[in-house]
């Protein structure tokens, strides 16, 4: 991802974050925390925390790093829509995104609630850059990573023609502004949102439960996650409409 000076600080940190081999090993050994590969709006730490109901003070960006998925391509429903990925017959095809470590079962299921439906949770291998010393870097393949891929016909989808989805328009949108304001406590609904965050007080290094990467929704998650997200989105849209009037 090409970094720009006006990008949020948490995103800049996530993009520049590089782990050592030992750090990667430790992250992969965290119980119940199978890594996830994301390539759309969830690459933004503030947006990710909003959708998984994580306290904004948790520095999830420190558990993220750039990653590349081969054998897939990026598509959109429309010019301004969020991206989806689909398998390609070209093994050199690639999608650039972010690999997230440390998400617990409930948080991974929150992503499933958001991304499931028209997409399948699949297990893939991604490639990341790890640091060997101060000046040396090496590539490493991480296997059994969960991500969401388009499961229907690609007819009607628009191929993006790039390995990475451009986040610029989304970052400058009113929708992102409202999410950022709610997460930073400058939106009137932020207090309500913070009260509903189920994982705000937990450490990313103290997780339990299943480490499943595929197979759909994992056990032990809340059945009303989708309704909570839907009501949150409705509040944002209502606020946007009020501002436009």
- At residue 217 the predicted structure's pLDDT band, cuts being 50, 70 and 90, is confident
Mean pLDDT of 197-216: 44
Q: Which residue has the higher pLDDT, 5 or 103?
A: 103
pLDDT band at 242, cuts 50/70/90? low
Separation of alpha carbons 149 and 98, rounded Å: 15
Of the ranges 5-9, 43-47, 79-83, 235-239, the best mean pLDDT one: 43-47
Distance CA(107)–CA(132), nearest Å, equals 31
- How far apart are the C-alpha atoms of 21 and 180, rounded to whole Å? 33
Question: Which of 60-74, 120-134, 165-179, 195-209 is predicted least confidently?
Answer: 195-209
Six-digit token pair at 162?
């790039």
Assign 59 a pLDDT band (cuts: 50, 70, 90): very high
Encoding tokens for residue 115?
A: 């991304």
- Three-state secondary structure string covering 54-92: CCCCCCHHHHEEEEEEECEEEEECCCCCCEEEEECCCCC
Q: How confident is the model at residue 158 (pLDDT cuts 50, 70, 90)?
A: very high
Residue 236's pLDDT is 46
Nearest to 133, CA basis, from 230, 18, 8, 7: 18
**pLDDT (0 to 100) of residue 118:** 86
Per-residue pLDDT for 46 more than 50?
Answer: yes
Q: What is the mean pLDDT of residues 106-123?
A: 93
Q: What pLDDT sits at residue 53?
A: 92
Q: Does 115 have pLDDT greater than 60?
A: yes
The enclosing H or E element of 143 equals strand 137-150
For the chain, domains (ranges, CATH) are 9-244 (3.10.490.10)
Mean pLDDT, residues 21-46: 96
- How far the first Cα of the chain sits from its last, in Å, is 37
- Mean pLDDT estimate for the chain: 82
pLDDT of res. 45: 96
| Band (228; pLDDT cuts 50, 70, 90) | very low
Position 147 pLDDT exceeds 80: yes
Round to whole Å and give the CA distance between 201 and 10: 20
What mean pLDDT do residues 152-168 have?
93
Taking 60 as the threshold, does the pLDDT of residue 100 lie above it? yes
pLDDT score of 3:
67
pLDDT in tens, 62-71: 999 999 999 9
């Amino acid at each position: 991802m090409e970094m720009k000076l006006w990008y949020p600080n948490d995103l800049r940190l996530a993009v520049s974050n590089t782990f050592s081999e030992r750090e990667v090993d430790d992250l992969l050994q965290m119980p119940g925390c199978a890594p996830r590969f994301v390539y759309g709006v969830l690459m933004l730490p503030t947006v990710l925390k909003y959708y998984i109901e994580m306290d904004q003070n948790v520095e999830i960006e420190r558990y993220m790093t750039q990653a590349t998925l081969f054998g897939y391509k990026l598509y959109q429903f429309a010019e301004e829509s969020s991206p989806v990925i689909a398998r390609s017959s070209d093994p050199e095809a690639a999608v650039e995104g972010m690999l997230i470590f440390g998400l617990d079962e409930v948080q991974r299921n929150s992503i499933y609630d958001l991304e499931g439906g028209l997409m399948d949770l699949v297990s893939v291998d991604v490639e990341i850059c790890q640091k060997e010393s101060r000046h040396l870097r090496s590539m490493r393949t991480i296997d059994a990573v969960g991500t969401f891929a388009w499961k229907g016909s690609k007819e009607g989808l628009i191929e993006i023609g790039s390995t990475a989805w451009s986040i610029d328009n989304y970052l400058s949108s009113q929708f992102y502004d409202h999410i950022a304001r709610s997460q930073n406590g400058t939106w009137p609904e932020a207090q309500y949102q913070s009260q509903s965050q189920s994982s705000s007080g937990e450490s990313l290094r103290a997780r339990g439960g299943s480490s499943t990467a595929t197979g759909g929704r994992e056990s032990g998650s809340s059945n009303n996650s989708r309704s909570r997200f839907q009501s949150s989105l409705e509040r944002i849209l209502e606020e946007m409409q009020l501002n436009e009037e």
